[in-house]
Amino acid sequence: MAAEVLDGKRIAKEIQSEIKQRVARFVEGGQAAPTLAAVLVGEDPASQVYVRNKERACQRAGINSQLHRLPEQSTTKEVLDLVHGLNEDPGVNGILVQLPLPSGVDSQVVLDAVNPLKDVDAFHPQNVGLISQGRPQFLPCTPHGIVQMLKRYQINTRGKHVVIVGRSDIVGKPMALMLANRDIGLGPDMANATVTICHSQTADLAAITRQADILIAAIGQPEFITAAMVKPGAVVVDVGINRTDDGLVGDVHYQDVAAEASYLTPVPGGVGPLTVTMLLENTLAAAEIQQAATT
Ligand code: GUN
């Protein structure tokens, strides 16, 4: 079997054009265009690329973007001062603190300081709690992008065994919470999964991943998932973006797994474009929430 490619680029384009129309209607209704403020601390090359991509995507959708840069040597207090200013600024609807922050900055303290109503990454404990309870205010961008892609390929998660490899706060944990719930706002077919989270300490990992109807790889290890770890006909979603001497590769060994899976996301052009897209969705949602709160 040769897997069908899940074309994240195409789905992202489709969703971005829907968001662009919703932004235009929001502005026609007399509101200011939604505004995203990105905070970039230091010179991490990958982060600079991500932030530039996010700015470009905003521009295409009619969303304003601001970039706030701080030097590598910044203190936690200096980053906090910037975040507090953005929290107070009524012209800023969404705040994104690009991770990773330099080692001298306490990431948890900074992320906890973002106003939950402007928390377009959904990293604030209040938003994590709401996701856990199945009543999200914002859905985190990468997990939300994955569900949107599955939905648009009519791959339901209801009753399926989803195995997630990786327990990060950005992908693994929120993905598990979203899919295990009854409905996180995308319909019952796109939730209600039986979810297993695996990680670096999981014993006999392959025995578990081979049970997956849908396998989500988010571990940050190049080509970690091999064909032997995949059940024939499984749907495989690769969240990894690893820079190697051979270029960009995912967490999945693409060639091998493509022979086993029914659907597979490529890297690049799979999950990545959807992450950026759902940030636009959340920035528009933030502007709508804040408008509703003031009228
Ligand atoms: N770094 C890697 N992924 C992300 C993300 O989704 N949001 C932010 N803010 N930083 C990241």
pLDDT for position 83: 99
Q: Is 97 in the pocket of ligand 1 (CB under 6 A)?
A: yes
Q: Is 98 in the pocket of ligand 1 (CB under 6 A)?
A: yes
Confidence of residue 1 (pLDDT cuts 50, 70, 90): low
Q: Give the nearest ligand 1 atom to 100 CA.
A: 1
Q: Is 99 in the pocket of ligand 1 (CB under 6 A)?
A: yes
Catalytic residue among 16, 118, 119, 121: 121
Q: Is 92 in the pocket of ligand 1 (CB under 6 A)?
A: no
268 preceded by a cis bond (ω within 30 of 0): yes
pLDDT digits (tens, 9 = 90+) for 257-276: 999 999 999 999 999 999 99
Q: Is 170 in the pocket of ligand 1 (CB under 6 A)?
A: yes
Joined together, the tokens standing for residue 72 give 């590598």
**Residue with CA at minimum distance from ligand 1 atom 3:** 99
Q: Which helix or strand (DSSP H or E) is residue 294 part of? A: helix 271-294
- Beta-carbon contacts of 115 under 8 Å, excluding residues fewer than 6 positions away, are 87, 95
Closest CA to 286 of 39, 35, 60: 35
Closest CA to 175 of 128, 208, 241: 128
State in Å: Cα 98 to ligand 1 middle: 5
- Beta-carbon contacts of 226 under 8 Å, excluding residues fewer than 6 positions away, are 253, 256, 257
Residue 30, phi-psi category: left (phi > 0), alpha (psi -120 to 50), beta (remainder):
left
Task: Decide: 82 and 73 in contact? Cβ < 8 Å.
Answer: no
Catalytic residue among 16, 98, 148, 290: 98
Confidence of residue 295 (pLDDT cuts 50, 70, 90): confident
Q: What is the C-alpha to C-alpha distance for residues 47 and 286, in angstroms, rounded to an integer?
A: 23
Active site includes 121?
yes
Please give the backbone phi and psi of residue 37, each rounded to the nearest 5 degrees, phi first: -110, 120
pLDDT digits (tens, 9 = 90+) for 212-239: 999 999 999 999 999 999 999 999 999 9
State in Å: Cα 226 to ligand 1 middle: 26
In sequence order, what DSSP letters do the residues of 137-169 get, joined into one string?
SS--HHHHHHHHHHHHTT---TT-EEEEE---T
Active site includes 98?
yes
**C-alpha count within 13 angstroms, C-beta hemisphere, residue 55:** 15
pLDDT digits (tens, 9 = 90+) for 90-130: 999 999 999 999 999 999 999 999 999 999 999 999 999 99
State in Å: Cα 171 to ligand 1 middle: 10
Q: Give the nearest ligand 1 atom to 170 CA.
A: 6
State in Å: Cα 105 to ligand 1 middle: 16
Please give the backbone phi and psi of residue 235, each rounded to the nearest 5 degrees, phi first: -95, 130
Domains of the chain: 31-116 (3.40.50.10860), 140-272 (3.40.50.720)
Which amino acid is located at 159 in the chain?
A: G
What is the C-alpha radius of gyration for the chain, rounded to an integer number of angstroms? 19
pLDDT digits (tens, 9 = 90+) for 44-81: 999 999 999 999 999 999 999 999 999 999 999 999 99
Please give the backbone phi and psi of residue 260, each rounded to the nearest 5 degrees, phi first: -105, -40
Q: Is 212 in the pocket of ligand 1 (CB under 6 A)?
A: no
